[in-house]
């Protein structure tokens, strides 16, 4: 059975109450439940983690080598700042799909650059919580 690691970055644990006009009302648990059911239908194993700490995300990515066939990541604010997360993804060479709830290109200038996109197979953004499902489907299709 193929396995995918889902990583949610900082502040995504607050989904549901965090800026609902931007991020919607669905909680992280709700998103995780829909990811689990899509993966189950396609007989893919999922491990889901959330961390507010950059180094913990780097550790998760490093430990994924040899254990996971794909990574689905919403690096959240670290998208725009983290050379360390980008380098970890480049190092493990696990096919990665980057997702964002909002369309970062329509937002503040500081959000418009992703350091992660160049090391991802592709990026899906702007479809609300559906970005995750679209991203998972794309990743399952390529692994």
Which positions touch ligand DQA (CB under 6 A)?
A: 11, 74, 76-77, 79, 100-102, 104, 111
Q: Which of 8, 23, 78, 132 is catalytic?
A: 23
Which residue's CB is nearer to ligand DQA, number 121 or number 126? 126
Specify the residue, 69 or 114, whose C-beta has the smaller distance to ligand DQA. 114
Q: Which of 8, 78, 100, 132 is the catalytic position?
A: 100
Give the start-end residues of each E strand in the chain. 3-8, 45-50, 70-74, 96-100, 122-125
Catalytic (active site) residue 132:
no
Of 26 and 46, which CB lies nearer to ligand DQA in the complex structure? Answer: 26
- The question of whether 78 is a catalytic residue gets the answer no
C-alpha triplet 59, 99, 33: angle, nearest 5°: 85
In whole angstroms, the minimum distance from the beta carbon of 92 to ligand DQA comes to 21
SS3 44: coil
Closest CA to 96 of 6, 2, 33, 10: 6
Q: How far is the CB of 37 from ligand DQA (least distance, A)?
A: 21
In angstroms, the CA 127 to CA 55 distance is 28
Please identify, using beta-carbon distances, which residue of 65 and 107 lies nearer to ligand DQA: 107
CB of 55 to ligand DQA, least distance (A): 18
Handedness of CA 80, 97, 11, 23 (dihedral sign): positive
Q: How far apart are CA 52 and CA 77, in angstroms?
A: 10
Minimum separation from the CB atom of position 23 to ligand DQA (A)? 7
The residues annotated as belonging to the active site are 23, 100
């Amino acid at each position: 059975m193929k396995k995918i690691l889902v990583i949610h970055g900082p502040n995504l644990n607050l989904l549901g109450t965090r800026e609902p006009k931007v991020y919607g009302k669905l909680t992280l648990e709700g998103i995780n439940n829909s990811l689990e059911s899509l993966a189950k239908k396609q007989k893919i194993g999922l491990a889901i983690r959330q961390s507010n700490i950059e180094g913990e995300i780097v550790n998760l990515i490093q430990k994924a080598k040899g254990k996971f066939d794909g990574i689905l990541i919403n690096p959240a604010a670290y998208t725009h700042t983290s050379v360390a997360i980008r380098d970890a993804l480049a190092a493990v060479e696990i096919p990665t799909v980057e997702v964002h709830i909002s369309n970062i290109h329509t937002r503040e200038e500081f959000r418009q650059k992703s350091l992660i996109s160049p090391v991802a197979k592709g990026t899906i953004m702007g479809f609300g919580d559906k970005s995750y499902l679209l991203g998972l489907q794309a990743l399952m299709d390529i692994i």
